[in-house]
Every structure is written in structure tokens, then in C-alpha cells.
Amino acid sequence: MKFTPFSIKNQEFSRSVRGFDKEEVKTYLEKLSDEVERIQNENSRLTSEIEKMNSRIEQYQRIEKNLQTTLLSAQESSTKAVESARKQTALLIKESELKASQIVEEAKEKANEIRDAVLKLREEKKLLVAKLKAMVETQSSLIEISFKERIIDENHEIDFTSAKKDLDSKINADELLEKLL
């Protein structure tokens, strides 16, 4: 028999000469006692289960909190790492640009130095060619004078014009310079 608050309140006992039937009341109380015991056991079991569930919930809440903390920490670390990488990249780019500018500037300076050296060498070449040409012409004149003196010393009469042409054809200052250079 299942006891409900309604059935307990409305339970009627048979009357005997001296009042209620003792056996019926005793049986009813035993059943009621059994039901109350069962309910208490069930209540105890459910209370224990609720405590276990509450403990699990607390454990899960701690885990959730730890996970949230870990996730937040990971997000912060990730954000810091990304920001650090951006800063480092920007720094590397600036350093690279500065280094590239220095290399370009050094290359321009070297190019200017080389250009100046080439111009100087060309000027020196012109001066050297002019000096050599002057020396060759001087030597040519000296040879011509020496040749004339020898001819005069020997008292030979020679056509100086044809001798000079022969000498000029043999000593060409420009050809001599080309061979030297």
C-alpha cells in the first residue's frame, strides 16, 4: 500500500468495543513505518546523490574557471606574441631599409669615386699624350737638325725637302704614340 498525505489523513479504523481495532491500527502503523522508512532511505539516497551532483558541479565549475583562465591567458599570450612579432617585423623592415639606403649611398659614393678617377686618368692620358707628342716632335726636330749638320759637315749638297719627307715618313709622331699606348 502506498501512503499519501491524503490517505493518511483520511484513514479510518474500525471500532471495537474498547475503541479502535488494535491489530488494524498496528498493521497500519507498521505499513506507515515501512513507508516512512522507505521514504527516508530514498530521501537519504537522493540527498547523497544531490551532494555528489553538487560536488561534480563544483568540480566542473572549477574546471570551467580554470579553462576560462587558461583560455584568457592563451589569448593574452597570443595577442602579445602577435604584437611582438609585428614590432619585430617593423624593426627588421626599418633596419633593412636603413641598411639598403647605406648600401645604395656607399655604391653612389664608389661610383662617383670611380667616375672621378676615370676622368682624372683621361686628363692624365691627354697630358701624357701631349708630352709624348712634344717629346717625339722634339726628338724628330733634333734628328732633323743633326741630320742637316751631318750633311753640311760632309759638304754634300742634298735636297733637304726630299730628305725631310723621307725622315717624316720614317718618324710619324702619331703612329709612334699609338704603338706606345
User: Residue 24 is part of which domain span?
Assistant: 5-180
pTM of the model: 0.41
Q: Number of folded domains in the chain?
A: 1
Cell numbers representing residue 151 in the block = 750633311
What digits encode the pLDDT tens for the residues 139-172?
888 888 887 777 766 655 555 555 555 555 555 6
Q: What is the pLDDT of residues 28-85, one digit of tens each?
A: 888 888 888 888 889 999 999 999 999 999 999 999 999 999 999 999 999 999 999 9
- Alpha-carbon gap, residue 175 to 143, rounded angstroms: 17
121 residue type, one letter = L
Beta bridge pairs of residue 20: 15
